A and B are shown apart, each in its own frame.
Chain A
Amino acid sequence: MSNIIHDENPKLMKGNEALAEASLRAGLQAYFGYPITPQSEILEYLEEKAPQHPDTVVLQAESEVASINMVYGAAGAGARVMTTSSSPGISLMQEGISYIAAAELPCVIANVQRGGPGLGTIQPAQGDYFQAVKGGGHGDYHMIVLAPSSVQEMADFVFDGFRLAEEYRMPSMILADGALGQMMEKIYLPKAGSLPKQDEPWATVGKPAARERNYITSLHIEPDKMEMINLHLQDKYRKLKKEVRCELTNVENADIILVAFGLTARICNKVMELARAKGLNVGVLRPITLYPFPTEIIAQYADPMRMFLTVEMNAGQMVEDVRLAVNGRCPVYFKGRMGGMVPTPEEILLEVEAMAEKQRITNQSAGYL
């Protein structure tokens, strides 16, 4: 669990700037990035603050391919390092992320998502869920994936991201979206210097005569060795399950549970209010860690008396993981908007009402009433 120490006084900040400021307060040693809307403010903010942080490297790279490989180099040298981008740029980074995961290097990568596929749109979307939680690049690997739903969490998850990345020696991704990046909210920034950094004995910093050389690699040409590496990674991912985080609102006695992450979870909170005002017993389950996914928590609420509605800004990605967790024990519906369209509470409410009606008829015919 995170226990971040915050400032006493709040600030009004844009999501992207909050993330950037939090990274400096987290003791960022290097940032490499390439401009792309809707997250360019992060690089701009860090460049502007650079004179006050002479020990932090801030470099605009020639591409996202270069950025992620600079991250690899700096992380391998033991630095606390971050890159940020938006969907197309994150696609370009996938090979590098696979190398980082395989070489077990810690870093934070933020994806302020926009609508795709292709060049798509600069409006907010959640179409990179699969890419973020299922691997994205080649081979069997995962990242820690944190999904903020407020500007406060845009800042906090930088701290959580580094803490977890360093503890488990793997990349953390902050999976945000363009709306969270651009919106302004009142937040309490994490306190500077409150995130300790351990020594990295494996880092390549120059080999003292007394120790063996360190090398960072993802190459193990013998398949039996490579399988051992895979088993080790899978073991790590199993251990990571204890870091699962999920926000539950009114789910205990809910007839209908809305499952949503990030921005859509906020919209679902509004839907829940509207539905409850109409006498419908609706709750919201918000996965905060998308990897590890709150499978067990969802499973706990999956009983035949309930229904789930997964709401996403994509064609239906997380809903697959919700269905795996529910495992057929109750219906799981999906409501999605795509291409940068943000669903309104009202259109989700219509869906909820239709589900409630279906539930009423089913229960009636089953003689439950």
Chain B
Amino acid sequence: MNSTVNEQMEVVYHKPQTLTDTPMHYCPGCGHGVVHRVLMEVIDEMGIAERTVGVAPVGCSVFAYHYMNVDMQEAAHGRASAVATGVRRVLPDKFVFSYQGDGDLAAIGTGETIHTINRGENILMVFVNNGIYGMTGGQMAPTSLCGMVTSTSPYGRDAAQVGHPLKITEMIAQLPGAYFVARHSVHTPSAVRKLKKAFKASFEAQKEKKGTCFIEVVSNCPSGWKMTPNESNAWMEQHMFPHFPPGDIKVPASMK
């Protein structure tokens, strides 16, 4: 009886080939794991895994190569887009992505970020913005919100002293080399679906060598924010979204 039921059951959801069986080390409720999964699903569904190389720099996702079942390079803090440039330039017909945090992409690696995009490198840059330095224990990031308490801004971020949360995504959208720029999140199923579409469109554009695709994912860091996963998602919607509103930022006519 049971076996008949099993035979009739249809698999509607499964782990993509592009994820390994290694259990992820991310804190419960952390967005990184979901972003990994969405990215790998797209690569799997598009059938481009054999032609994809990823670059993940220092940050909580530095071990991405343990989870993403594609060829990967670990990069120095801030240098992922330079490393990805090196890979893409010598493998012009492969797919290359970088996967970077906000400290990595918008502080120590700002120069590389701007110039990589200004050259219009044919890569996808995935920018996971959790407004904090997750890996090093919750220090202030370039994207930490004003008033946000972190271990290095214990009285809240004071813009007069340390500047305002950097909207690097809006900045780089100005560059001619930026082809497709969007901001998404992974805290609801519908948000995940939108992100998936954006990743897919980015790899399609890469096939055509259109320039840099840049997808920011506004994410959470329950541990660094000292919140439960649910609290962190609510806080993200309430506080992060007003400053970093999800949506398309630069969409080429061909994608509209």
B182, CB-defined interface residue at 8 Å: no
A208, CB-defined interface residue at 8 Å: yes
Chain A residue contacts of B198, Cβ below 8 A? none
Size class of the B contact interface (CB-based, 8 Å) = 20 to 34
Chain B residue contacts of A29, Cβ below 8 A? 90
Q: Is the CB of B65 within 8 A of A215?
A: yes
Chain B residue contacts of A1, Cβ below 8 A? none
Surface stretch bound by B, among A59-67, A165-173, A232-240, A349-357? A59-67
Surface stretch bound by B, among A71-79, A180-188, A252-260, A332-340? A71-79
Size class of the A contact interface (CB-based, 8 Å) = 35 or more
Q: Is the CB of B76 within 8 A of A69?
A: yes
A219, CB-defined interface residue at 8 Å: yes
Chain A residue contacts of B79, Cβ below 8 A? 65-66, 69, 72, 96
Chain B residue contacts of A208, Cβ below 8 A? 50
CA A214 – CA B65 in complex, angstroms?
Answer: 9
Closest residue of chain A to B90, judged by CB? A79
Surface stretch bound by B, among A199-207, A261-269, A282-290? A199-207
CA A217 – CA B53 in complex, angstroms?
Answer: 13
A95, CB-defined interface residue at 8 Å: yes
Q: Is the CB of B83 within 8 A of A218?
A: no
Q: Mark B203-223, 1 if CB is under 8 A from A, else 0.
A: 000000000000000000000
Q: Which of A65-114 contact B (CB under 8 A)?
A: 65-67, 69-79, 81, 95-96, 99, 103
CA A236 – CA B15 in complex, angstroms?
Answer: 40
B112, CB-defined interface residue at 8 Å: yes
Q: Is the CB of A30 within 8 A of B70?
A: no
Q: Is the CB of A70 within 8 A of B74?
A: no
Q: Is the CB of A62 within 8 A of B112?
A: yes
B69, CB-defined interface residue at 8 Å: yes
Chain B residue contacts of A78, Cβ below 8 A? 90
Q: Is the CB of A74 within 8 A of B86?
A: yes
Question: Which of B52, B76, B87 has the most C-beta atoms of chain A within 10 angstroms of its own C-beta?
Answer: B87
Name the one of B71, B74, B112 contacting A207, with C-beta atoms under 8 angstroms. B71
B82, CB-defined interface residue at 8 Å: yes
Q: Is the CB of B82 within 8 A of A69?
A: yes
Chain A residue contacts of B55, Cβ below 8 A? 73
Q: Is the CB of A205 within 8 A of B89?
A: no
CA A209 – CA B50 in complex, angstroms?
Answer: 7
Q: Is the CB of A216 within 8 A of B89?
A: no
Chain A residue contacts of B72, Cβ below 8 A? 204, 213-216
Q: Is the CB of A207 within 8 A of B111?
A: no
CA A57 – CA B90 in complex, angstroms?
Answer: 7
CA A71 – CA B91 in complex, angstroms?
Answer: 13
Q: Mark B53-92, 1 if CB is under 8 A from A, else 0.
A: 1010000001101001111111110010011111111110
Chain A residue contacts of B49, Cβ below 8 A? 206-207, 209
Chain A residue contacts of B75, Cβ below 8 A? 69, 72-73, 99
CA A67 – CA B76 in complex, angstroms?
Answer: 13
Q: Is the CB of B65 within 8 A of A217?
A: yes
Q: Is the CB of B65 within 8 A of A213?
A: yes
Chain A residue contacts of B94, Cβ below 8 A? 205-206
A32, CB-defined interface residue at 8 Å: yes
Q: Is the CB of B71 within 8 A of A61?
A: no
CA A78 – CA B91 in complex, angstroms?
Answer: 10
Q: Which of A1-59 contact B (CB under 8 A)?
A: 29-30, 32, 57, 59
Q: Contacts A70-B89, A217-B65: A207 and B73 contacting too (C-beta < 8 A)?
A: no
Q: Contacts A30-B86, A204-B53, A206-B53: A96 and B73 contacting too (C-beta < 8 A)?
A: no
B51, CB-defined interface residue at 8 Å: yes
Q: Contacts A29-B90, A74-B90, A206-B53: A62 and B111 contacting too (C-beta < 8 A)?
A: yes
8 A-B pairs, CB-CB below 8 angstroms?
A30-B90, A72-B76, A73-B55, A73-B84, A74-B90, A78-B90, A96-B76, A208-B50
Further 5 A-B residue pairs, CB within 8 A, beyond A69-B79, A72-B73: A61-B82, A70-B82, A73-B75, A204-B73, A214-B72
Binding site for A on B (CB under 8 A): 20, 49-53, 55, 62-63, 65, 68-76, 79, 82-91, 94, 111-112, 115
| The 9 nearest A-B residue pairs measured at CB | A73-B86, A204-B71, A69-B82, A70-B86, A73-B83, A74-B86, A69-B79, A217-B74, A62-B115
